Structure 1
């Protein structure tokens, strides 16, 4: 592999698509054509360069981003194969922040899927230029024309085919490259030029005319010359217009073919080389601006130059129990040398540096330096996490972090005592590796809670936990953190009197209990006068009350939002003690719970649900059926509606699966605990019955 060329010849490219769109196979053909690999592997056999995780080979899906590189027409391609299955799609968001362009694949069999729409929203947000590739034209149900139309309708973008197929399905024989009007095919993965079939000539001339007209529309001089003189743009003018259309995202340039057959991949590679921006061009579209870590109000900028101070972003973390931690970075400015110390601008501490590598799938190639625009890895940076900014020690900067969507599926992790430590330690490592995972210990239920983007996502996490760290665990539905409270004011007595022949136990206290507003917590008031209860025993009464609050009488849940006043009582000079008054306080509080109308409080979630227009009514109806309350609906820029709502947690524990079903995978949501509310009596009965069954 030759040395990395100058920055103007670098192309950092993400391959994005829905699950099964053919990204990994396309990457294999690009690497093969660029002579980076000697033969093309097979996804089904797990022999591709980008299939590095056993869980990926088993499921035949990409789980985490993978990096490879090759050279094509003197351009250096850094290719990043990204996840496309919905549960892992969010990790692609971090990749889009570091690339210059993205190739979005569309299956000619199924057209647009919900994952394509989510990815399109991500590239819009990241301002990433996109080239389309209609794949799998050799499949039985392939349809090029239908797929083009679906892309325009669903993504609201004008498409511009640069290649068209020669036949489809079992009749697919190659592609026509419209600019030079040449035809290409492949046999056994090796492409070659063929004569343009007469059967494809009329379509080729039609689409070439469409191509020229859409290009001249963006240039007044070309348009006038074309309309008045009938002169077509020159080859250089066409390439210049197409490059402008791609970088400004005015049009979606589309190629077509079959990644598996290596048909059309050569033309796509030419498009990547010709039309995608270099790191220098990308900085003109999205400038390199951050803040001073010590003075966040002060903006700091960089230029994509080797003479500028070093800055980079860590966009992937790999944890290995044997070789340690590997941090994958994209250099935005300057150069970093092997073992060179640097500053973590996100976490405000120095790092001693580490060995540098270039990645080709699982292969790690040692290198001496990484320059501006390059993608590589640094070994054993313990203090660096995904999303962190790395920079020169004497020129600190912090770039804005990527905002990943909050996890949508939450489960409790169940394990046996023998592997509990391995499970907890291993999950912490996996969370560090995956920015879409969350791990916490619920203080109320004492359960270990794991949150991710879907059940498949979490099951893969447990598979990796077992393989990498020896931790064995299963998922179960997390217990909602119910609470209890009282509904009316009462006055009760707590009295302990025991006489066993020797010294006895005596304590007598009167308590007034009343409810507090929601989130009022707990309040204690001492109203004892005249020493009827000695001062030293008052803290013991309160301690007994606090311990009794840990378990209410409705379902055994903690009691909240209650005020207790110690108002009267009596003591014995010999038999009274701290223990006696603590017990009396507990007895009085429990008696008060029985008389004060104890009720169950259920957690209520604030939700934000983003859905397509055509299913808005269905989603609102479903929320209403779950005792939800719709607070408002607002249009979303680019299409769709955002529903603000509240719903009891017990009704939306599995909402991710429900929303996927209602929206065919096109809906997104976030939710957080916002308040507690009294559960209706019939709901309380159902909850308690379910809890008994769960305990049994």
Structure 2
């Protein structure tokens, strides 16, 4: 039979293609920063011949880093795709960032993949299976995504495979820990003087074979008596776990009755259980020795991916037809079906413009095809519900792009020159437009206020920000009408730093960061009277206006009420709206600290006018002066916004979170247990105390918590805090 995946030479290296969807596997690598995901991608690429040495393709460039920002950040910040070919199957390896700030890229990888490899570092112990890993594991479980675990760094001084496996079972296994079992056991070499003990081979528990990797090759070795004893202890547990997930209900009875279950049946049932997402094998990986090509466990991982992980056809996705309200349209992974693809990442290339990385769910896409590009939100807000002509197609290979003739259903490809496409958008046929529901994105909760550094930057800032948001939907842009600040909302400090660096290095815009201002308000706590006198005479036409007002507090949400109680025409009727206009203008500017005045009733009850010198402008000024004088005679409160915060945190850190919220002037409304050994804490907290909460909470709960916030109301702030803000407002610039 002809190979289902093939390679062809191009100007930038070898392009791996697949003829049918069943010859494709899309696998996302998930794990915390430092777990070894990128090293594993490179080792798998070397084992399949895609790389000549660690991280290097034929021309010597690096495969894992996507852009220069990653070099400066010393961490992966973007989703990277590396295709390899093994056994006639094209495997798209999606390497995701491990740092929590870039969870948006990680979730894009989950959408594009059909199975996940969770990479766990044994050197980190239980910390290697942190709250973020657990959250992603549960997210994959909720959609039934098949998962396997790969344990790395077993050569570390205190690493223990059995202990690490049990830790994963305890944290990730939940009520189904018996479905998370190792397929292999490590064979250790002698411990070095530095305390490290290298893993030199693997024991296959099903075949009972031992494989030696000490020279960088997958070779069969003799089984020692000690290894045979290890097999006897672990193999039975693995067989029972496989049989428990078997579709053959008689298999367990036969096994318990003492019947020998043949190897072919066990392997077949294992592969089916893995593909269904009900069994999660634990594997072992280590990079190849210096000068060798084959890393430990690479053959075993590749075998599991090609034989146990599902094809794209087993990952159904539904879409909706635009405009007809006919409900969901199931998409089959058929190259001859209707075109449906989703943009999972958007990047700007300095030479070819915007490049869209897309996952094909149905149909076939060719270069220069006209496609319909559509995003989400109300139709009046969409600026990318358009038909566009696709540019050239290419196959991603880390930082490289290699020419591609067509992209079929199930594959991942880069599409050039889609000027309106944004991350999360759907590409479909122009005569049958479809829309695929986007994947969930975390809410960015760290604000950073920015302004253009100079005039040249100001001219380019708007376009650059729109391109930044199109590339990274985890960034939210806000033009705050109350504080008049331009605010980028990010997921954390690293995410913020990358966003600002992209503005500078990729779009050529330098910005200054400012302290984020919270939208405070002012209100009268007591009633007061004020007199506004604006009288000027300097020859010729003068200015004359006097008005007297009373100000009274109103309930929250009342706004500004203006009442006319002038009698006897002391203020001519045509100037009463002028007084109101002046009062409202001064209220918008504030009366003590520069924040809008709200929830008061202003009553005009007396005044004076001049038959010649009175004017609209004069009475506006008098109205403003009267309000300021009333404020000087009253107690004016500063109102701060209060947010309802819901913190989901592991039970181990509930006490720390409660104490921290109290230190932020928070009022705890209650706690309630939720799934997975976690608790939801509800509290009301002043928004002034939440500017850095996204950073502080991550540190406080060791990454095991997340929170949401929602505005509830404004209320008076403590007197001392209000006095400090007034002092800052009156201080000279």
TM-score (norm 1): 0.93
Displacement after TM superposition at 1:335 (Å): 1.3
State the secondary structure of the residue aligned to 2:503: helix
Q: Which position in structure 2 is the counterpart of 1:186? A: 213
Deviation at 1:277, TM superposition (A): 0.6
1:128-143 pair list within 5 angstroms:
128-143=145-160
Alignment of 1:650-689 (within 5 A): 650-688=688-726
Deviations 1:370-389 (A, max 9, x none): 11101111112122111112
Measured after TM superposition, the shift of residue 60 of structure 1 is 3.1
CA contact under 8 A between 2:146 and 2:278: conserved in structure 1? no
In the alignment, structure 1 segments of 5+ residues that lack a partner are none
Aligned residue number for residue 142 of structure 2:
125
Which aligned pairs between 1:468-487 and structure 2 lie closer than 5 A?
468-487=506-525
Does the residue aligned with 2:145 lie in a helix, a strand or coil? coil
Instruction: Return the alpha-carbon distance in structure 1 between the equivalents of residues 334 and 119 of structure 2.
Output: 32
1:282 aligns with 2:315: yes
2:362 counterpart of 1:333: yes
Who is 1:95 aligned against?
109
2: CA distance, partners of 1:438 / 1:195: 59
Q: Which residue number in structure 2 is paired with residue 547 of structure 1?
A: 585
| Corresponding residue SS for 1:496 | strand
Matched residue of 2:342: which SS?
A: strand
Contact 1:607 1:645 in 2 (8 A): yes
TM-aligned CA deviation for residue 363 of structure 1: 1.5
Partner residue in 1 for 2:241? 214
Correspondence 1:179-258 to 2 at 5 A: 179-186=206-213, 189-219=216-246, 220-235=249-264, 237-258=265-286
On the 8 A contact 1:184/1:263 being kept in 2, the answer is: no
Residue 577 of structure 1: aligned partner: 615
1:301 aligns with 2:324: no
**Matches of residues 345-494 of structure 1 in structure 2 within 5 Å?**
345-346=374-375, 347=382, 348-413=385-450, 415-418=452-455, 419-494=457-532
Question: Retained in 2: the 8 A contact 1:64–1:88?
Answer: yes
Residue pair 2:543, 2:613 contacting (<8 A) in 1 also: yes
| Aligned residue among 3, 12, 23 for 2:37 | 23
Q: Report the equivalent of 1:343.
A: 372
Matched, 1:316 2:345: yes
**Contact 1:10 1:279 (C-alpha < 8 Å) held by counterparts:** yes
What's the offset of the Cα at 1:688? Answer: 4.0
Shift of 1:432: 1.7
The aligned residue for residue 182 of structure 2 is 161
Moved more, 624-633 or 93-102: 624-633
Q: 2:11 matched to which residue of 1?
A: none
Distance 1:472 1:692, change over 3 A: farther
Alignment pair present for 1:52 and 2:69: no
Q: Alpha-carbon deviation of 1:398?
A: 1.6
Matched, 1:271 2:304: yes
Deviations 1:7-44 (A, max 9, x none): 1121110011100111111111111222222222279x
Question: Helix, strand or coil: the match of 1:390?
Answer: strand
Distance, in Å, in 1 between the alignment partners of 2:262 and 2:253 is 11
Residue 345 of structure 1 and its aligned partner are, at CA, apart by: 4.0
**For residues 251 and 674 of structure 1, what CA distance do their matches in structure 2 show?**
45
Contact 1:28–1:48 at 8 Å: present in 2 too? no
**Structure 1: how far apart are the matches of 2:96 and 2:431?**
35
Structure 2 Cα separation of the partners of residues 444 and 20 of structure 1: 42
Q: What's the TM-score once normalised by structure 2's chain length?
A: 0.89
For the Cα contact (< 8 Å) 1:437–1:452, is it kept in 2? yes
Give, in whole Å, the separation in 2 of the partners of 1:224 and 1:692.
Answer: 83
Paired residues for 1:489-508 under 5 Å: 489-508=527-546
5+ residue gaps in structure 2? 1-6, 8-15, 190-195, 290-294, 376-381
Q: Secondary structure at the match of 2:654?
A: helix
Deviations for 1:655-676, whole angstroms, at most 9, x for unmatched residues?
1232123211211112233321
Distance 2:124 2:252 in 1: 37
Quote the Cα distance in structure 1 between the aligned partners of 2:450 and 2:302: 45
Q: Is the contact made by 1:97 and 1:126 (CA closer than 8 Å) also made in structure 2? A: no
- Native 8 Å contact 2:646 2:680 kept in 1: yes
- For the 8 Å contact 2:206–2:263, the answer to whether it is kept is no
Q: Deviations over 1:57-102 (max 9, x none)?
A: 2333210100110111111101110010122133211221221100
**Deviation, structure 1 residue 362:** 1.6
In structure 1, what is the Cα distance between the partners aligned to 2:359 and 2:547? 68
CA contact (8 A) 1:462 1:474 kept: no
In structure 2, what is the Cα distance between the partners aligned to 1:17 and 1:692? 50
Q: Secondary structure at the match of 1:14?
A: strand
CA distance in 1, matches of 2:644, 2:215: 56
- Counterpart secondary structure, 2:123: coil
SS in 2 for 1:402: coil
- Partner of 1:180: helix, strand, or coil? coil
CA distance in 2 between counterparts of 1:196 and 1:42 reads 36
Indicate conservation of the 8 Å contact 2:649/2:705, yes or no.
yes
Secondary structure, counterpart of 1:605 in structure 2: strand
Q: 1:422/1:186 Cα in 2 relative to 1: closer, same or farther (>3 Å)?
A: farther
Taking only aligned residues, the RMSD between alpha carbons, in angstroms, comes to: 2.4
Distance 1:89 1:692 in 2: 42
Distance in 2, Cα, partners of 1:626 & 1:85: 27
Note if 1:605 corresponds to 2:619: no
**Secondary structure in 2 aligned to 1:398?**
strand
Q: Which residue pairs with 1:520 in the alignment? A: 558
> Is the alpha carbon distance of 1:343 and 1:416 closer, same or farther for their aligned partners in structure 2, counting shifts above 3 Å?
closer
